[in-house]
Structure 1
Amino acid sequence: MKMGGGTTGSVIASRLTENPHVKVLLLEAGSDGTLLSWIPAAAALMWSLDKFDYRYTSEPQEDSCLALEGGRCRWPRGRMLGRSSALNGAIYIRGNHKDYDNWAALGNPGWSFNDLLPLFIRAEKFLVKDASARDALYHGTGGYFPVSHTYFTELLSPFIEAGKSLGFLHNHDYNGASQRGFSRVQVAAEEGIRYSTAKAYLTPVKHRKNLQVVLNTVVSRIVLDETTKTAKGVEYLTEGGSTRFVSAKREVILSAGAVASPQLLMLSGIGPTEELHRHGIRPIVDLRVGENMQSHTGPGGLYFSIKKKSGFYIPRLFTTDLIPSTLQYVLKGDGIVPSLSWILHAWETYKGLLFQPGFAIYPHAIQPKSRGKILLHSTNVKDHPIIIGNYFKDPADLKIAIEGTASTPIDFLGIFKTSSKGNLRSSSGIRLALRLGEQPAFKKFGAEFYSESLPGCRHLKQFTDEYWECHIRQFTYLFFHDVGTCKMGPPTDPGAVVDPALRVYGVRNLRVADASIMPVIVSGTTMAAAIVIGEKASDLIKSTHGISASSN
């Protein structure tokens, strides 16, 4: 039995049912999705629709999100098959090889990069044909999940050249041997159509008789035998509002994501005793569920206007430029229309930029030290849990976002970069972003930093550390890469919720498999890591039950 047909859950359901003798019931709270999810540009639109997005928000805090509505950061989360892989930015980054080696070193054997590389390859349908732009030893072509290059404007080359002028490498394939340098992004798309894991993994196998997908079904709790501490099945709410029980013959597999997975565990009596008592829930197993939450965050609002018309900006929505662009997408599946998911954003202070061509840089530390947590709001599964982000609670994260260090990896708009010279101690984070915009490659376009101060920071001198600290706390930008709330770790780790086989400690026949199990966040977007977790979980489950991988 699978709970959650999201980024990881869709992978597991597809892989387990490769054997026709294995029956999987997949319960998904959302719908089967929408054609809007095929177009990356529609991501921001889906974020405003309750039907497709849970629309979580973080709790107000004194350290972050101060200038945002109600002091809360938005937390888009997919509410459909494929979940957040159906409404994210579609950027595909595995992260640094050492991320996974670190997982293994923390007491999780089998999770090193070399262990997982065959699974990354198995998952992938790599569509980049240019031999100079792909490291073939690190990619697969026969998998379910398509990975390609996105359309790029004239501004790609200046980014690469500006990086080189500051001592960085041009990396043609950051998902290959090296993660150093400036790169063109790889995306989850084929012929201009975005692929969620549901579209990639479930759509081709929907005919399988041993796979049953039940939509619009909200699981309210995992039913445990309190004597043997064994997962027996789940209770769920039907569309009509009635409660039903379904039993699991072998296992219950929870893949509801970094917010809902800890919520469901706690509602089922698995979690911190003090938190369960607060809501009148009888504790069955005391685990640090909901803790260890890590996120990629940074400053918003680092915008540059350019004098040369390039890219896609608001006036082009109302000119004849839109017609050929749309036709290019419909007829060829490429062009700028399927590549807009990072472009259609606006905030009050920056309204003037909507009518100008330009570009934005979003620096953020990709190994943050701050840790947040998920708490229950109530015992009603339909009530959003309490999200305490604790963004920039650790001062080291602020320092990295502003200045960085010689060894700090910095990510710009989903493109992994790290210094090839190791001598830019005071020139990474915001400082490096500003230096990039000043390079000759951008000056040819007439690039100019939009220096309007944020209202909450106008009492501070611009460009000082104090100003940037204020800027970050006021205009905190989330990348929605939240992980770690059901931490994987060895029995000796007091914060671990699942073991290296993803089995919940102290409970039989229950696993968690999604981004919540990451002990430490990866150095890039989290979709690729969530997919490989699904591939790994499938192998672990098959091994436990002696399931062969015979083709269905």
Structure 2
Amino acid sequence: MGPCFLLLLMIVGSAIPQRPGIADSLINILIQGMRQFNEEPRNERNILSEYDFIIVGAGTAGCVMANRLTEVQNWKVLLLEAGREENFVMDIPIVANFLQFTEANWKYKTMPSSSACLGHTNKQCNFPRGKVMGGSSVLNYMIYSRGNRRDYDYWEKLGNTGWSYKDILPYFRKSEDNTIPNLTKDKTYHSTGGYLTVSYAPYRTPLAKAFIEAGLETGAKELDYNGEVQTGFSYLQTTMKNGTRWSSSRAFLHPIRKRKNLHVKKMSMVTKILIDPKTLQAYGIEFIQNNRRYVVRARMEVIISAGAINSPQLLMVSGIGPKEHLTKMGIPVLQNLKVGFNLMDHIALGGLTFIVNQSVSLRTEHLLDDQNNFVEYLAYHKGPFSIPGGCEAAAFYDLQHPEDPDGYPDIELLFQGGSIVSEPTFRRNFGISDELFDAVYKPIENEHTWMVLPMVLRPKSKGRIMLKDKNPLSKPLIYHNYYSEPEDMETMLGGIKKTLELGNTKAFKRLGSKLHNIPIPACSRFGFGSDDYWRCASRQLTFTIYHQSGTCKMGPASDPEAVVNPRLQVYGVSRLRVVDASVIPYIPAGHTNAPTYMIAEKAADMIKEDWDAKKK
């Protein structure tokens, strides 16, 4: 279980005498917890030389694909993952921040920029991505937000037949096991019985309740943002079960651990897709494990589910990508496609902080000082440790059409029951420079605070993934291009103003809330609180919300930027598909984890349809 887990046991052990009778139940919970992580398909020592399907990447999409394809009993499937299995500590929701410092993170950084991330070390943003069974669903903040129906209708309008909202809604429902009482009654938008549990966190701070009250006070409604209407306020719907993280591995792999037609190979880095240069047919992959090279063949298809950074990198080092770039890297070009373009992400202003005069926020030292918090979580999966990384609620606004009750949100306000100063490692997650932190936040590092991350939901700016060289083990170059389109900055400014409005409500004033007003040094010349100040601050503290997508764009044959067709098959290369967030043609106005589950569910059905058709 590792040293972190042993530390938890030691602390909890000292707390047990304070709670008579808890020892037996605690031990049972711990035994169950340890057993859970032996319940994924075992790591095969000896794999076959050939499978029907090879899936590269055991992230959100890869785990779904492995589950659904092995429903066909005579299909043999190999699932490859560069990382190792999850452990008990990873699935404690509050520790999401810490996971970025572990080997479960690829630890990508963007290229230095002159337009954003300026207050970060070396002017680089951190791009955490999951390198573990379950992928980024193990690192994320567990927020389940599908986006707006107009997002998917736009996908179809772009030429992606079969991807309209009415087409994809059944796939959202297919995965879902919703446990929120009011939502389970809504059979149009929700379902029960799927592999993926969706629930509310079992604990809320008084600050989160104040946030919802502030929304109501300003005329907004509390609603189900995954339902008919999206504009309004809500506590977060999360991919959690019984107060624990419910990753794609736990949801989709653990229940099928006994399927004999699924083999899993962990700690295995795929370095090349094998493609016949004459027929342009994919026939297998190469991978490295313990410095040894292996080759496995695929009878039917190779499926790339490595994510929006790794999938384009793997395609490019295998000869599929922009001709000019691959030629420059010394890679023979098999198919000239715009791989790595169309990089989209949701970004937020970090550090928009409010101070309160009551002890109501999530401060690490306070959580650790109270041993009952450990007991409450380990024994009952309740208490503040069950809050997903400190995120508690969200608000969605249509800034362009504020009077429309069924608006198309362009900004989300993601509420946290703490801030940059609440957790010593939080600022390092995002790479904030010591100079900026010491000047602006060190003076309040012992205060109780709350923070909102105003998040641009429908960004116009797009970046690009490029190769550093032809070595598949080199990290790619990531150009985010945040704020390259001025409209994104104006949307951000609108979100900041909405946040300031909420901070002035009676709901927050009751907690003594006031805006932290020490200016960022690089922006002080504009005058704290002016529009230009906030524009400057947004360029200084640019937080990714980890929604990288779009780099292997789905589109019709007429789209010169398309990498895969609407059935997710790579153009010009047979028996090769991409199934993950990289195929998203236009980023949805939500969080991308939920759409990735949907994409994989739909892709699995399309594969079954395609191969059934070939039999006939």
TM-score (norm 1): 0.91
1:454 aligns with 2:520: yes
Corresponding position of 2:598: 532
Corresponding position of 1:338: 386
1:57 aligns with 2:123: no
Corresponding position of 1:270: 320
Q: 134-143 or 488-497, which moves further after superposition?
A: 134-143
Instruction: Tell me how far 1:133 sits from its aligned partner.
Output: 8.2
- The Cα offsets for residues 76-129 of structure 1, whole Å up to 9 and x where unpaired, read as 111111110001001111111111111111111111111111111110111112
Corresponding position of 1:415: none
Q: Which letter maps to 1:253?
A: I
Corresponding position of 1:282: 332
Corresponding position of 1:425: none
Contact 1:168 1:181 in 2 (8 A): yes
Corresponding position of 1:12: 65
Corresponding position of 2:207: 155
- The Cα offsets for residues 40-85 of structure 1, whole Å up to 9 and x where unpaired, read as 2222211012x21000000001000011011100111111111100
Q: What does residue range 55-454 of structure 1 map to in structure 2 within 5 Å? A: 55-129=107-181, 131=182, 135-150=186-201, 151-171=203-223, 173-239=224-290, 241-317=291-367, 319=369, 322-342=370-390, 343=418, 344=423, 345-346=426-427, 348=437, 349-403=440-494, 429-454=495-520
Contact 2:178 2:184 in 1 (8 A): no
Instruction: Tell me how far 1:353 sits from its aligned partner.
Output: 3.6
Contact 2:117 2:124 in 1 (8 A): yes
Unaligned runs of 5+ in 2: 1-53, 391-417
Given candidates 91, 94, 109, the residue that maps to 1:38 is 91
In 2: Cα distance, 1:480 partner to 1:207 partner? 33
Contact 1:314 1:354 in 2 (8 A): no
Instruction: Tell me how far 1:318 sits from its aligned partner.
Output: 5.0
In 2: Cα distance, 1:327 partner to 1:244 partner? 46
Instruction: Tell me how far 1:36 sits from its aligned partner.
Output: 2.2
In 2: Cα distance, 1:317 partner to 1:186 partner? 23
Given candidates 563, 571, 575, the residue that maps to 1:497 is 563
Alpha-carbon RMSD? 1.5
Contact 2:338 2:561 in 1 (8 A): yes
- The Cα offsets for residues 211-257 of structure 1, whole Å up to 9 and x where unpaired, read as 00001111111011111110011111122x12221110000000000
Contact 1:19 1:547 in 2 (8 A): no
In 2: Cα distance, 1:215 partner to 1:457 partner? 47
Q: Which letter maps to 1:369?
A: K
The residue matched to 1:248 in structure 2 has which SS?
Answer: strand
Q: Which letter maps to 1:135?
A: D
In 1: Cα distance, 2:574 partner to 2:330 partner? 24
Q: Which letter maps to 2:110?
A: S
Instruction: Tell me how far 1:359 sits from its aligned partner.
Output: 1.0
Corresponding position of 1:24: 77
Q: Which letter maps to 2:372?
A: P
Contact 1:123 1:532 in 2 (8 A): yes
The residue matched to 2:546 in structure 1 has which SS?
Answer: coil
In 2: Cα distance, 1:7 partner to 1:24 partner? 17
Instruction: Tell me how far 1:34 sits from its aligned partner.
Output: 2.2
Contact 2:59 2:133 in 1 (8 A): yes
Instruction: Tell me how far 1:161 sits from its aligned partner.
Output: 2.1
Instruction: Tell me how far 1:522 sits from its aligned partner.
Output: 1.0
Unaligned runs of 5+ in 1: 404-428
Instruction: Tell me how far 1:378 sits from its aligned partner.
Output: 1.3
The residue matched to 1:2 in structure 2 has which SS?
Answer: strand
Distance 1:340 1:504, change over 3 A: closer
Contact 1:5 1:82 in 2 (8 A): yes
Q: Which letter maps to 1:17?
A: T
Q: Which letter maps to 2:352?
A: L
- The Cα offsets for residues 125-146 of structure 1, whole Å up to 9 and x where unpaired, read as 11112x3786343111111011
In 2: Cα distance, 1:318 partner to 1:80 partner? 27
In 1: Cα distance, 2:140 partner to 2:561 partner? 29
Contact 1:104 1:111 in 2 (8 A): yes
In 2: Cα distance, 1:93 partner to 1:100 partner? 14
Q: Which letter maps to 2:282?
A: A
Which structure shows the higher helix fraction? 2
Instruction: Tell me how far 1:464 sits from its aligned partner.
Output: 1.5
Distance 1:90 1:179, change over 3 A: same
In 1: Cα distance, 2:264 partner to 2:184 partner? 38
Instruction: Tell me how far 1:330 sits from its aligned partner.
Output: 1.7
Q: 453-462 or 523-532, which moves further after superposition?
A: 453-462
In 2: Cα distance, 1:225 partner to 1:496 partner? 22
